Amino acid sequence: AVANIGVIGLAVMGSNLARNLASREGNTVAVYNRSPERTRTLIAEHPEAGFVASEDIDDFVASLQKPRTAIIMVQAGRGTDAVIEQLTERFEPGDIIVDGGNALFTDTIRREQTVKATGVHFVGAGISGGEEGALKGPSIMPGGSAESYATLGPILSSIAAVAEGEPCVTHVGTDGAGHFVKMIHNGIEYADMQLIAEAYDLLRNVAGFTPAEIAEIFAEWNRGELESYLIEITAEVLRQVDARTGAPLVDVILDEAGSKGTGVWTVQNALDLGVPVSGIAEAVFARSLSSHRAQREAATALPGPSATVSIEDRDAFVEDVRLALYASKIVAYSQGFDAIREGATKYGWSIDEGAISKIWRGGCIIRAQFLNRIADAYAEQPGLEALLTAPYFTEAIAASQESWRRVVVLAAQAGIPAPAFSSSLSYYDGLRAERLPAALVQGQRDFFGAHTYKRVDVDGVFHTLWSGDRSEIETTPSSH
Ligand code: 6PG
């Protein structure tokens, strides 16, 4: 046995991660893929990596030093269970199986339970950064036991991206915590992308900028507080000209957004946790709306606003959109971190939110300057009630909220959909409201279902005899 780490599954992500591992001092990497052609191609193309290649799972396992550590990089789903089973049968107590795919965290919890019973460690690790990240340094979110992290931590640290001198990896928490946090990362990724897309739509269809001009606007924004990978690549995409037609590429791409499911999982789980992740939810719904081609075609005759909106000061409008984007982005992250906290409570993980913000500063898709501010906020106030309420973000929103409101009004007047901008603003106004119309909802519930309500002035649970003399009685809490 010569390899200290192995990779199973050699599609692009797996190959790149294996090459990243092999490029680090002290690593000898074993590789295995179900169909051997892929393994052969990889070793032929990358002799410099010094891979220990196997075409048989038994040989692969035999090539690993103890404690054996193997990272599974196959597409999330059934294939993962099959590979885990093959490894579990061959591994010994103390060995470590890492699932580096985008697994659903509840699957990871289940798999860890099963594997743990054999004495083998199972670690679900979220890995973000796409193909390039895998090769040059991703952000890594491992769960699993603290014991396994003692072995795994140094290996993962050696390949992770580095931000502010620190590797973008931390032991997130036990069992499925890593995949849970990766899921929330992806939810935030969806919101971030949708917000950028709405900003683009407004700049294009309200202010009349061309894609090339908007590319320059984004490039400019990328030099300020919005600096991030997603803003940077947006400028690149908008700059791209289609070779076939000479049109901006964005104009010839079919406007139906796909998804692989992690955004949907975030929202499904947030619903279960009772955490309003409205920005993320709107981003997921915006993708689904875009894909309902037949409905969209049937709806093209629906009337829009009768008057056109004209922008007098385009520079001021650009600044308004920038600030609306910034404020909405703060909301999306605040909601994402709320979901992490609630998830941690429900599943019994101790997750350090500050550490999560730090490992998202580099390598991952949502990497941004902004995450330094989030890290600062958690450093100043661990256990912060809501990110939005940290002094830095309160000030940032104070400076942007008027712009934000103008943009949402303009979008509505112009008939341009801005679901993430407007729902984030509604969330913000809901959160800061002293009184919410939830009081009326409670009254309605009590009226038709005797669901009871509490009062602002006296303790206890009350019901109004709506179908009687409408006097109030004190009661026991309703169970329905
Ligand atoms: C990452 C990404 C990645 C994800 C893609 C696709 O962090 O590197 O989140 O894991 O697979 O972004 O997501 P959708 O197909 O759902 O857009």
Region 392-397: mean pLDDT is 97
Is the previous residue joined to 154 through a cis bond, with omega within 30 degrees of 0? no
CA of 415 to the centre of ligand 1 (A): 30
Write out the H or E segment, with its range, that includes residue 377: helix 370-380
* Nearest ligand 1 atom, CA 129: 8
Ligand 1 atom 12 nearest Cα: 186
Ligand 1 atom 17 nearest Cα: 259
> Residue 314 is encoded by which pair of tokens?
């385009």
Neighbours of 306 (CB within 10 A): 6
Nearest-10 crossing angle of helices 314-347, 391-414 = 120
- Contact, 209 vs 218, CB < 8 A? no
* Nearest ligand 1 atom, CA 186: 9
At residue 274, the pLDDT reads: 98
> Residue 369 is encoded by which pair of tokens?
């300057």
At residue 78, the pLDDT reads: 82
Ligand 1 atom 6 nearest Cα: 260
Q: 75: Cβ below 6 Å to ligand 1?
A: no
* Nearest ligand 1 atom, CA 190: 17
For the entire predicted model, the pTM comes to: 0.96
Token pair 């909802």 in the structure block, residue: 441
Residue 116 has pLDDT above 60, yes or no: yes
Give CA–CA dist 63/45, Å, rounded: 21
Neighbours of 11 (CB within 10 A): 13
Ligand 1 atom 2 nearest Cα: 128
The reply, when asked if residue 435 is annotated as ligand binding, is no
- At 476, the pLDDT band (50, 70, 90 cuts) reads confident
At residue 479, the pLDDT reads: 53
Region 264-275: mean pLDDT is 98
- Fill in the DSSP letter of residue 113: H
Region 104-128: mean pLDDT is 97
Residue 175, φ and ψ in degrees, nearest 5? 25, -105
**Per-residue pLDDT tens for 298-348?**
999 999 999 989 999 999 999 999 999 999 999 999 999 999 999 999 999
Residue 22 makes CB contacts below 8 A (sequence gap 6+) with: 28, 29, 46, 49, 50, 51
Q: 225 or 76: whose pLDDT is higher?
A: 225
Region 284-307: mean pLDDT is 96
Give CA–CA dist 308/388, Å, rounded: 35
> Residue 103 is encoded by which pair of tokens?
């697994």
CA of 469 to the centre of ligand 1 (A): 59
Q: 262: Cβ below 6 Å to ligand 1?
A: yes
Beta bridge partners of 71: 7, 98
Region 31-53: mean pLDDT is 97
Neighbours of 391 (CB within 10 A): 11
The reply, when asked if residue 287 is annotated as ligand binding, is yes
The reply, when asked if residue 16 is annotated as ligand binding, is no
**Is 189 tagged catalytic?**
yes
Give CA–CA dist 316/343, Å, rounded: 41
Give CA–CA dist 360/393, Å, rounded: 18
Residue 478 has pLDDT above 60, yes or no: no
Q: 452: Cβ below 6 Å to ligand 1?
A: no
Region 190-214: mean pLDDT is 98
Mean pLDDT of the chain: 96
Residue 75 has pLDDT above 90, yes or no: no
Q: 407: Cβ below 6 Å to ligand 1?
A: no
CA of 186 to the centre of ligand 1 (A): 6
Q: 420: Cβ below 6 Å to ligand 1?
A: no
The reply, when asked if residue 121 is annotated as ligand binding, is no
Give CA–CA dist 365/190, Å, rounded: 10
- Fill in the DSSP letter of residue 5: E
Give CA–CA dist 9/7, Å, rounded: 7
Give CA–CA dist 97/90, Å, rounded: 11
Q: 363: Cβ below 6 Å to ligand 1?
A: no
Region 392-406: mean pLDDT is 98
Q: 364: Cβ below 6 Å to ligand 1?
A: yes
The reply, when asked if residue 13 is annotated as ligand binding, is yes
The reply, when asked if residue 75 is annotated as ligand binding, is yes
